[in-house]
Structure 1
């Protein structure tokens, strides 16, 4: 196997990078705790906060402040300004009353795309009454963003259709919808949303590559491969030994027992089906950039998809949860929703927990970022059985991909997803 030595990591630059990633981790954890603590109050206040915009809150605060200043100073101008602000809010209330009798149909041509592809869709709106509707703004939430359509006035029982395309620059799981009709005052101080239809889920899968020859290289035991581990129950014969109380009598070799004058039983070499255990680190501290994180997910996705396509067993675990992987589509759907795990365990702790909960793996793939030290990988290897082949793949921003060996641990650095197939071939050689 060819080898390449990783460049030395250290110095002020690396320490500053690690400090920035650690600071970002603390920020994410704090924001998560704050959102959890305020979930109930925000739910109670939602009927008001959904209608009153931040601009309206500012105007209300300034108007009340003007009233308070008028009571102290007696300036008529302050009273006029406060009255004008409150009048604007009162007039805005008139614009948000009413409801629409529109029937909507949302249709996505594909609900699963790969990063970089466009998801096309169609929005059909029907006036289900005999009265003409007023022009209204129709909004379609797409993840954290919104697309807006200006619906013209529709006569009774007439319809309107809008076609749209959703660009996908990053892996994600989007809620497309629900379709809403928006009533708002001309100044945008108050807005009321009326839900018209349901929502669709759009999965943006990570990029993956086909790994030619992986089944004959790293994962080569489609029908079961014997390992150097002796067992009393299997099909690959190894040797004979003396009978001891408790042995299964079905495995007594009677001819050898007759010749030797004492009972002899068969021993076997353990046979295993290919079982790939993928351990994916989702700790922010382990990645120097978001691009590394996306590359790591694509690496795990490519190896997992190839394993499932070859009809072998796959188990995938991240720093915070276990992924469902009954089919390639289910597996990629799960990868689409992965994000950094606040407070996620380190790679060594993840390996210790996963090795305890997932026995019988023949190959373990550790996927992480460039900030994971090789010493951490060696600690993770100690939690795995000695007869399990272990490969660590680090997503890196180095100039070229590399492969090295540390005892019984193979470490590969992958800079681009396109290099993964070549790296696998080098590991299998």
Structure 2
């Protein structure tokens, strides 16, 4: 418009046409007037954002709600358009043309995202553009700061481990330290205040004095989960990355054990991760990044009732070192799509672990884990 106005002014003076001069003045004046009309307009546009839920599992939808408003009690804002800033894994950036916003007017926007891969994703900042009514001048700004969406690993439910009749059996998370069962408890002398229903009559008759059953002392069982998060041990990209499969498998096992009342000790090649509750496990694994470590996790798990190692590609030396570690019942989950040099290398590593007493399963996708988990526990239970 400025170039057109300048050309009209020059042409009007050259040929002596007053009308061209007037047109040139008008065309030249319009852009500054349009810019003046937008003075402070972008600053009057305010917004708020909500994410429901604020943490979601990979492969599930999250709803993003954005409220756009005009903070002025007097001045309207013309021709407003907005676009939200999203990282590439969440898809295309949504764009909306809101149009005219009167004083104190509000517009609500909403869209869905479905992240396929775990992580901590920033949402925003919002891109706001305000245009004058003639479309000559546009003012852009990015107000506010990003919100965050935490995407936890995808998991699968695992069958409860117990006896065939559905009882907990040997997988009970507590064991007695008294060394005696209910049929032959270790009694003690009767003390004032003890309940009579705890009297052990067989011991009373044998000892000639009143004896009661001793209180059982319990301690919690714990399981150890080892997660191989070395970048060099895994292959693939996106949801098909073998590291994502390994993280999902480790999370599924950890949640299963916590649900059964076990204490979980979760280790990666970087050390131990806190795992006091399911939410802590999922949140920690959501932001776990591949490491540059050259050695898989190796933890002495003496006293553990169950050791589960979720592994990427191993060398023969690494498999031999891991075979000697662990405690209790030991299960090795080998990711079939990891960076194995050959099929023979994966088979050889599995055979080496199996010869050391590990139950070995080969996992291609996370959905295969439930039946493999059932097979990894002999007779449908985790032995102590």
Equivalent residues of 1:275, 1:361 under 8 A apart: yes
Q: Does 1:338 align with 2:278?
A: no
* Structural mapping, 1:260-409, within 5 Å: 273-290=220-237, 291=240, 292-341=242-291, 343-347=292-296, 350-351=297-298, 354-355=299-300, 360-369=303-312, 371-373=313-315, 375-384=317-326, 387-397=327-337, 405-409=354-358
| CA deviations over 1:122-162 (Å, ceiling 9, x no partner) | 21111010211243442322335743333323111111121
Q: 1:211 matched to which residue of 2? A: 158
Question: In 1, Cα distance between the equivalents of 2:317 and 2:154?
Answer: 30
Using the alignment, how far apart are the partners of 1:219 and 1:103 within structure 2?
60
Deviation at 1:171, TM superposition (A): 2.3
Deviations 1:46-93 (A, max 9, x none): xxxxxxxxxxxxxxxxxxxxxxxxxxxxxxxxxxxxxxxxxxxxx9xx
Structure 2 Cα separation of the partners of residues 275 and 137 of structure 1: 55
Within 5 Å, give how 1:66-105 maps onto structure 2. Answer: 99-105=42-48
- What's the TM-score once normalised by structure 1's chain length? 0.57
Deviates more, 1:278-287 or 1:127-136: 127-136
User: How far did residue 164 of structure 1 move?
Assistant: 0.9
1:173 aligned partner: 120
Structure 1 residues 275 and 373 mapped into 2: Cα distance closer, same or farther (>3 Å)?
Answer: same
C-alpha distance in 2 between matches for 1:313 and 1:419? 25
Change in Cα spacing, 1:183 to 1:395, as seen in structure 2 (3 Å) is farther
- Return the alpha-carbon distance in structure 2 between the equivalents of residues 219 and 277 of structure 1: 20
Change (3 A) 1:336 1:133: same
Distance 1:422 1:135, change over 3 A: same
**Structure showing greater relative contact order (alpha-carbon pairs closer than 8 Å, 6 or more residues apart):** 1
1:224 aligns with 2:177: no
State the TM-score, normalizing by the size of structure 2: 0.63
| Residue 53 of structure 2, aligned match among 110, 113, 128 | 110
Aligned equivalents of 2:377, 2:122: Cα separation in 1: 41
Cα distance in 2, alignment partners of residues 132 and 117 from structure 1: 39
Separation of aligned partners in 2, 1:395 and 1:191: 52
Unaligned runs of 5+ in 1: 1-90, 185-189, 227-233, 239-269
1:195 aligns with 2:138: no
Q: Deviations over 1:183-228 (max 9, x none)?
A: 79xxxxx9963323x54322223221111133559994424348xx
Q: Distance in 2 between matches of 1:220 and 1:191?
A: 69
Of 87, 109, 125, 2:68 maps to 125
CA displacement, residues 357-379 of structure 1 (integer Å, 9 cap, x when unaligned): x775332211112x223542230
How far apart, CA to CA, are the structure 1 residues paired with 2:334 and 2:234?
Answer: 9
If you compute each CA radius of gyration, which structure gives the higher value, 1 or 2?
Answer: 2
Aligned partners of 1:221 and 1:274 also within 8 Å: no
CA contact (8 A) 1:214 1:424 kept: no
Displacement after TM superposition at 1:336 (Å): 1.9
Task: Say how many residue pairs are matched.
Answer: 282
Helix, strand or coil for the counterpart of 1:121? Answer: strand
C-alpha separation in 2, matches of 1:165 and 1:282: 30
Question: In structure 2, do the counterparts of structure 1 residues 366 and 132 end up closer, same or farther at CA, with 3 Å as the change threshold?
Answer: same
How far, CA to CA, are the matches of 1:361 and 1:195 in structure 2? 52
Quick one: distance in 2 between partners of 1:337 and 1:215?
A: 33
Partner of 1:414: 363
Helix, strand or coil for the counterpart of 2:85? strand
Alpha-carbon distance change, 100 to 135 in structure 1, aligned in 2, over 3 angstroms: farther
Residue matched to 1:231: none
Change (3 A) 1:113 1:366: same
Structure 1 residue 381 displacement after superposition: 3.3
Give RMSD over aligned pairs: 3.6
Evaluate the alpha carbon distance shift between residue 191 and residue 391 of structure 1 in structure 2; reply closer, same or farther with a 3 A threshold.
Answer: farther
